[in-house]
Amino acid sequence: MTSGNLASLQHQFADLEQVQQYYLDSNLTDGLPIVPPTEDRVRAMLEFSGLAPDRIIGFESIRQKQITAEKVAVNAVMAGCRPEYFPVVTSAISACCEPVFNLHASSTSTNGVTVLVFVSGGYAQQIGMNCSTGLMGPSNPANASIGRAVNLVKTNFYGSVPQEMDNSTFGHPGKYTFCFAENLKAGDWPSIAIDKGFDSQSSTVTVVAAYSPLQVSIFGGKDPNEFLLGIAHAMIGIGPSVSEVFVAISPEVMQYVDDAGWSRQQVREFLWEKAQLPAREWIAWRRIEHPDRFPDKDQLVGCVADPDRITVFSAGGAAGVYANIIGSWGNSRSVTRKIDVRS
């Protein structure tokens, strides 16, 4: 299945330093060193997933880009991925190409969003992804390289090069990598994969056009009616123009939720209700771009359109009473794909 010639240009270099300088000079890296994408490494990536080099992983309609397995594999090698990470990368790239994700607009906008790669299900644990302490930070090779691979595909193949197609006013540290997994052991809720309609054996990857995360300290005891108010208030802070909100709650907070018997849907509905303000308040704080669209100034306007646009899950380390809120750019919707692993 993986037989076939590679279509990518091949280069020869005198040493590793020359390799690194070539990729830097050619704007084919994110500014950090890369793993040289030798033919053997690229083929090993393809072989693990049983993909032919010319297999189409995704098609982006605005720029008419067909993203092949070979091109994804080249960038995955460069990012430092191991072959077992590759199914997550290809599923994420496929999801990014869905029209509702709006890859082109989010890649060119001044707002600075990045691609968040969020993994749910047992495969994350199989490949050693971090869902616990420091999951949004450095040191885990799977988290770091999977997210980096997706961003390298976006820049190297799709063309979203900083200061060229990518016109982010401030940028985003997650444009290096923004990838983590759900902590399945932290609570009683079903996984996000199951919540999205997949079976209990499936693992999924969700891509989000994500703003920077906002960490919230939890106060008010252990009653969800009290401590969830702080999360709702933080959601108000990100404004009424986001399309979705992803809320990571630490295992300690998840225990409070479990002890109270609250379901994921109850938490969604509570946050949605409490993160609404009359239009006049949003307008007074200059948080609405087109006030004329709200003739009824007493109309309640939410952070998001409905509770189902709030995704709540457990993640992070055992110590700490925190939540982490990630808004999604208003012109994009998240997309979830099953991770297909070759048996």
Q: Provide the pLDDT for residue 133.
A: 97
Q: For tokens 């040493």, what's the residue?
A: 15
Q: Provide the pLDDT for residue 202.
A: 97
**What are the structural domain ranges in the chain?**
16-338
Question: For residues 272 and 305, is the Cβ–Cβ distance under 8 A?
Answer: no
Residues of the chain with pLDDT under 50: 1
Dihedral sign from CA coordinates of 265, 271, 277, 283: negative
Q: Provide the pLDDT for residue 32.
A: 97
3-state secondary structure of 306: coil
- By DSSP bridging, strand 65-68 and strand 56-60 are antiparallel
Q: Provide the pLDDT for residue 304.
A: 96
Closest by Cα among 168, 175, 171, 334 to 246: 334
Q: What is the pTM of this model?
A: 0.95
Q: Provide the pLDDT for residue 165.
A: 85
Tally of CB atoms within 10 A around 331: 16
Residue 151: C-alpha distances to residues 9, 39, 73, 147 (Å): 21, 21, 13, 6
Q: Provide the pLDDT for residue 3.
A: 60
DSSP assigned state of 99: G
Cα gap 78→203, rounded to integer Å: 25
Cα gap 264→320, rounded to integer Å: 20
Closest by Cα among 117, 118, 96 to 107: 96
3-state secondary structure of 174: helix
Q: For tokens 């702080």, what's the residue?
A: 230
